[in-house]
Amino acid sequence: MLRDRYGRSIEYLRLSVTDRCDLRCSYCIPKGFKGFEEPQHWLTFDEIERVVAAFARLGTRRLRLTGGEPLLRRNLAELAGRLSSLPGIDDLSLSTNATRLAHHAGELRAAGVSRINVSLDSLDRACMHQITGRDSLGMILDGIMAGKAAGFDPIKINMVALRGVNEHQIDAMVAFCIEHQFVLRLIEAMPMGASGRDTSWLDLGPVERHLRRHFGLIHQPAKLGGGPARYLATPDGRTSVGFITPMSQHFCADCNRVRLSVDGTLYLCLGQEDKVDMRPLLRGGASGAELEQAIRAAIELKPEKHEFREQPGKIIRFMSQTGG
């Protein structure tokens, strides 16, 4: 098992297959941005498989496909099938905005993707247009229901809580997820890049207290997946609501993950600049043992914590460049 210098077990890799997206969420990608990574710099499927296999040999068990929007990467189901077949990978999941999921849900489920997280910040069409930059709500809802029909379980809905934008719609989202037995995860926006710093994050502490009273939610001690969310559950236990609080109550002491971007950069923390470029090794003929050695050395660089509150202007890269 990989352990960093603070004793944390690193068993979760978030793998970005593209930094491109068909939406322009206000907290993620600046309007008019065109500086995406050139395709010749993207890791190939063979290179991705090699580096993920090296992580798996070192004890990584959880793998999540992310972006940008991962469904923009051609033949993603083929890659998913190759990765789900690697020895040691026990859990393969996908983060998506679901605009294209209706066309790909069945093949992704057949390829070994078991769980999906879907970004959905509002059930109001105009509000979603404001946040995402296009009329996206209908496509997203169609994708979510196609995912449900394909058998993904659980389906987690990720709602970034934005002060003054969608905070008044949280109750409606909770009710929607209770109705369909989706897991809702409320997320505090982080100051990633100019777009993130321009976003007014919402402290989820008061929101959690309100939802406890309004929906009768109760503490849920069991974790769902490998993420940092703290969960409440409905009294019947059929639905959960999670709170991801990087701003008001960080969870760095339990961090178990690193992120590999589409160009092969291994980011060791969302809120720090520590990183290692894996692409030269992959394209320079490095052996499997050399890849493992590089990963071990990289994990030693993983910082203790982010500094989003202390230094909100520190990270100039935005979220889709890092990988969700």
Helix axis angle for 170-180 and 204-215, nearest 10°, is: 50
Q: Supply the pLDDT for residue 199.
A: 64
Write down the pLDDT at residue 310. Answer: 59
Tell me, what's the pLDDT at 251?
A: 77
Q: At what angle do helices 288-299 and 45-57 cross, to 10 degrees?
A: 70
Give pLDDT, residue 189: 85
Query: Residue 269 annotated as binding?
Result: yes
Of 117, 116, 138, 133, the residue nearest 21 (C-alpha): 133
Three-state DSSP state, 3: strand
Distance CA 172, CA 219 (A): 21
Report pLDDT for 315: 56
Return the pLDDT at 299. 96
Say if residue 257 carries a ligand binding annotation: yes
Q: Could you write out the DSSP letters of every residue in 265-308?
A: EEES-TTS--EEE-HHHHHTT--HHHHHHHHHHHHTT--S---T
Cα 17 to Cα 82: distance, rounded to the nearest angstrom = 14
pLDDT of residue 305: 80
259 annotated as belonging to a binding site for a ligand: yes
15: which residues sit within 8 A by CB, 6+ positions away?
48, 52, 63, 64, 65, 66, 259, 260, 323
Is 25 marked as binding a ligand? Answer: yes
Query: Cis peptide leading into 154, omega within 30 of 0?
Result: yes
Annotated binding residue 68: yes
Element (H, E) at 16: strand 12-16
Q: CA 255 → CA 76, 199, 207, 276, 306, distances in Å?
A: 27, 24, 24, 18, 11
Strands 218-220, 183-188: pairing kind: unpaired
Residue 174 and residue 234 in contact, taking contact as beta carbons nearer than 8 Å: no
Any binding-site annotation on 231?
Answer: no
Residue 273's identity, in one-letter code, is E
**How many Å is the Cα radius of gyration of the chain?**
19
- DSSP notation for 189-221: ----HHHHHTS-B--HHHHHHHHHHHH--EEE-
177 assigned ligand-binding residue: no
What's the CA gap between 243 and 79, in Å, rounded? 31
Gap between the Cα atoms of 228 and 251, Å rounded: 7
d(CA 307, CA 271): 6
The single-letter code of the amino acid at 272 is Q
> How do the pLDDT tens digits run along the chain, 324 residues long?
899 999 999 999 999 999 999 999 988 887 777 888 999 999 999 999 999 999 999 999 999 999 999 999 999 999 999 999 999 999 999 999 999 999 999 999 999 999 999 999 999 999 999 999 999 999 999 999 999 999 999 999 999 999 999 999 999 999 999 999 999 999 998 775 555 555 677 899 999 999 999 999 999 877 777 788 899 999 999 999 999 988 887 778 889 999 999 999 999 987 777 899 999 999 999 999 999 999 999 999 998 887 665 565 555 566 667 766
Residue 28 annotated in ligand binding = yes
Would you say 190 is a known binding-site residue?
yes
Question: Does residue 64 have a known ligand-binding role?
Answer: yes
Mark 200-209 as b/e (b = at least 16 C-beta within 10 Å): ebbebeebbe
127 annotated ligand binder: no
